[in-house]
Amino acid sequence: MQVLRRVAETQRLSERVRCAGERIALVPTMGALHRGHRALLAEARGRADRAWVSIFVNPTQFDAASDLESYPRNLEEDLAVCREEGVDVVFAPSEEELYPAGAQTWVEVVDLSRPLCGAARPGHFRGVATVVTKLLLATRPHLAVFGHKDHQQLAVVRRLVRDLCLDVEVVGVPTVREPDGLALSSRNVHLGPETRRQARVLVRALRAAQAAGSGGEQRRDVLLALVEREIAKAPLARLDYAELRDPDTLEPAPSRLSGPTLLALAVRFPCGEGRTVRLIDNCVLHPRAAEEEGT
Amino acid sequence: MQVLRRVAETQRLSERVRCAGERIALVPTMGALHRGHRALLAEARGRADRAWVSIFVNPTQFDAASDLESYPRNLEEDLAVCREEGVDVVFAPSEEELYPAGAQTWVEVVDLSRPLCGAARPGHFRGVATVVTKLLLATRPHLAVFGHKDHQQLAVVRRLVRDLCLDVEVVGVPTVREPDGLALSSRNVHLGPETRRQARVLVRALRAAQAAGSGGEQRRDVLLALVEREIAKAPLARLDYAELRDPDTLEPAPSRLSGPTLLALAVRFPCGEGRTVRLIDNCVLHPRAAEEEGT
């Protein structure tokens, strides 16, 4: 396994691999690799000749300095995971390498960056779009693998790849969950035992809405009220948002759902010293018209 | 000579050429090719195995709809010029190809886009940065050739290439001029006989400042007053800006010039029906300390 620090050497290697006719799949990460990342790596290995990983805690996508500081970092453990998973190349640049002195260029995916997590985290998706562009251009993969857990991020990346003429296939991988349903996240380490237990409300709320949707419930407001009631069952949970939107454009869903619809949640839990940890989760509802409506 | 319309086929060809070990030089243009572009093409041919040209009138860099409409277009004439100049590939995409339905991704080089032409043309350099990124990713050249006449554009492109990890060498080519000194520009066609004659004031003002600088004048305000006096000699000229700035960062020059300094001009002339044509020109002053200052 090669660990590369510099953009130029990474580009040279990518060109050699590409010209040898081999396909590269990149998994962009911020490190703190967990089983969710292992699923992305398995997807990468299965779809390409070479599995590459980038590890870079991107400062420009953090809206709070405390969140950036507390983000878990352990390169040696991450490299051990990469070795176990048969990764060929780890690209782990310094901050200076991706943001050289005087850097001032931003990539912005305007409409998709506004709602949901973008509303609560100004500048977050501009930081994501900018760093993903840099990482894709530094590594030049044939495909890039992202988790569906960060649905909005995936939508932003798909859009920027299309809009900027990046010849990269974007692959989404289903969210990996703990046995009780909690979506894996590097931020779960901040949960204490009680908040960890209560954090199950996110997936419970999603499943309640899915069940209602499959049962014929198509009314947006009824589904959202159901979700809010589920979240309220966890006394420590503070709902940040629960929204129904188009999975691709992120446009608000109509008052009566008519096709696949994203249900996206963000919930805060206290994690000591007056701080909170913000968890997100989502699913796509496939509302089925109730029988009396003629289907 | 191949004329390609689609991004995907252009990327496939570029990959084949690159993997065959040949170097590609791209000259991005908006068509209306003149002798200035021929100088860029000659530079491209001299520096690479393959000379590629893009022809695309980019709507997002025009701040006025009338300017976009009146921009000269003649693809057949442009292709004839390309054939004469030994161009290998012309990439001439449709607007839909570079801005697909729902496109919403912008590349912005924040600080360099603000002054000079950016102040008078809001959004112009965001459009330039965005389309140049798309064109470079669609063609994937080893190097890209731009004219020094659009000095700020060149500075923006150099910065975005570095910031976004684009592995492209950016090459600047000196401005090509008419026998009387007027810088070649696709917009010169809008000049009538009298405004064409008066348009010589731009290069005269530049030369006056260069002569003063070489003669030991380092005072910013004295040099700018000299330029303004020269421009005022043309009764039809309306000075848009005359500024002294750092050639790379475009930061304002100090009150006493100490190193190479960009002198940039924009001047408007009437071109009938109440409309104006805006001409730009620039040079880099190399101020020499006067003898009494100990050099």
**A-chain residues within 8 Å CB-CB of B15?**
18
Residue A291: what pLDDT? 54
Token pair for residue A41? 């790596």
Q: Are the Cβ atoms of A137 and B164 closer than 8 angstroms?
A: yes
For A169-215, the pLDDT digits (tens) are 999 999 999 999 999 999 999 999 999 999 999 999 999 999 999 99
Q: Does pLDDT of A78 surpass 80?
A: yes
pLDDT band at B88 (very low <50, low <70, confident <90, very high): very high
Tell me if B106 and A110 make a contact (CB, 8 A cut-off): yes
Model-level pTM greater than 0.80?
Answer: yes
Among A102, A109, A134, the residue with its CB nearest the CB of B104 is A109
| B11, B104, B160 ranked by CB distance to A159: nearest | B104
Q: Number of CB pairs < 8 Å for A and B?
A: 87
pLDDT at B287: 85
Residue B84 has pLDDT above 80, yes or no: yes
Q: How confident is the model over A145-170, as pLDDT tens digits?
A: 999 999 999 999 999 999 999 999 99
Q: How confident is the model at residue B292 (pLDDT cuts 50, 70, 90)?
A: very low
Residue B289 has pLDDT above 90, yes or no: no
B22 touches chain A (CB under 8 A): no
- Which residues does chain B have within 8 Å of residue A99's beta carbon, measured at their own beta carbons? 163
Q: What confidence tens digit (pLDDT) does each residue in B163-190 have? A: 999 999 999 999 999 999 999 999 999 9
Give the chain B residue nearest A138 (alpha carbons). B165
pLDDT class of B65 with cuts at 50, 70, 90: confident
A294 pLDDT more than 60: no
How many Å lie between the alpha carbon of B139 and the closest alpha carbon of chain A?
9
A103 interfacial to chain B (CB closer than 8 Å): yes
Long-range contacts of B286-295 (CB under 8 A, 24+ apart): B286/B213, B286/B214, B286/B260, B287/B213, B287/B216, B287/B217, B287/B218, B287/B257, B287/B258, B287/B259, B287/B261, B288/B213, B288/B214, B288/B215, B288/B216, B289/B216, B289/B218, B290/B215, B290/B216, B290/B217, B290/B218, B291/B216, B293/B216
Please give the full DSSP string across A233-256, using - where no structure is assigned. Answer: TSTT-EEEEEEEE-TTT-PBPPSB
Ramachandran assignment for B196, one of left (phi > 0), alpha (psi -120 to 50 degrees), beta (any other): alpha
Cβ distance B38 to B73 under 8 Å?
no
Share of chain B above pLDDT 90, in %: 92
Of A7, A19, A103, the CB nearest to B19: A19
* Region class of B114: left (phi > 0), else alpha (psi between -120 and 50), else beta: alpha
**Inter-chain CB proximity A134 and B163 less than 8 Å:** yes
Contacts of A227 (CB under 8 A, 6+ apart): A205, A206, A208, A209, A242, A263, A265
Q: Who wins on pLDDT, B19 or A274?
A: B19
Interface test with A, best of B136, B165, B248 (most A CBs within 10 A): B165
pLDDT of residue B72: 87
Q: Does B126 lie at the interface with A, CB-CB under 8 angstroms?
A: no
- Which whole number is the average pLDDT over B198-212? 98
Residues of A in contact with B100 (CB under 8 A): 162-163
Residue B58 clears pLDDT 50, i.e. is over it: yes
DSSP secondary structure letter of residue B218: -
Q: How confident is the model at residue B267 (pLDDT cuts 50, 70, 90)?
A: very high
Beta bridge partners of A145: A171
- If contacts are CB pairs under 8 Å, which of residues 209-228 in chain A contact chain B? none
Interface residue B24 vs chain A (CB under 8 A): no
Q: Does the complex come out with an ipTM higher than 0.90?
A: yes
Question: pLDDT-derived band of residue B290, with 50, 70 and 90 as boundaries?
Answer: low
C-alpha angle with apex A157: A199 to A187, nearest 5 degrees?
Answer: 25
A104 closest CB neighbour out of B98, B105, B110: B110
Say what percent of chain B tops pLDDT 70: 98
Residue B157: closest C-alpha in chain A: A105
Residues of B annotated catalytic, as ranges: 37
Question: B160 CB near a chain A CB, below 8 Å?
Answer: yes
What does the CA dihedral A213, A216, A219, A221 come to, rounded to 10 degrees?
-50
Could you give all domains of chain A from N- to C-terminal order, each with its CATH number?
2-173 (3.40.50.620), 186-293 (3.30.1300.10)
A287 pLDDT tier (thresholds 50, 70, 90): confident
- Nearest by CB: A111 against B104, B110, B133: B104
Tens of pLDDT along B13-57?
Answer: 999 999 999 999 999 999 999 999 999 999 999 999 999 999 999
Query: A160–B107: do the CB atoms touch at under 8 Å?
Result: no
How much is the average pLDDT of B142-150?
98
B224-241 pLDDT tens trace: 999 999 999 999 999 999
Adjacent-strand bridge partners of B282: B264
Of B109, B138, B167, the CB nearest to A105: B109
Average pLDDT, chain B: 96
C-beta atoms of B107 and A109 within 8 A: no
Which chain B residues contact residue A134 at CB under 8 A?
A: 163-165
For residue B52, give both structure tokens. Answer: 């590629």
**Nearest in space to A36 (alpha carbons), one of A128, A140, A113, A145:** A145
User: Residue A295 has what pLDDT?
Assistant: 42
The verdict on a CB contact (< 8 Å) between B164 and A134 is yes
**Residue A284 C-alpha, separation from nearest chain B C-alpha, in angstroms:** 22
Give the best residue of A54, A105, A249 to mutate against chain B (max B CB count within 10 A). Answer: A105
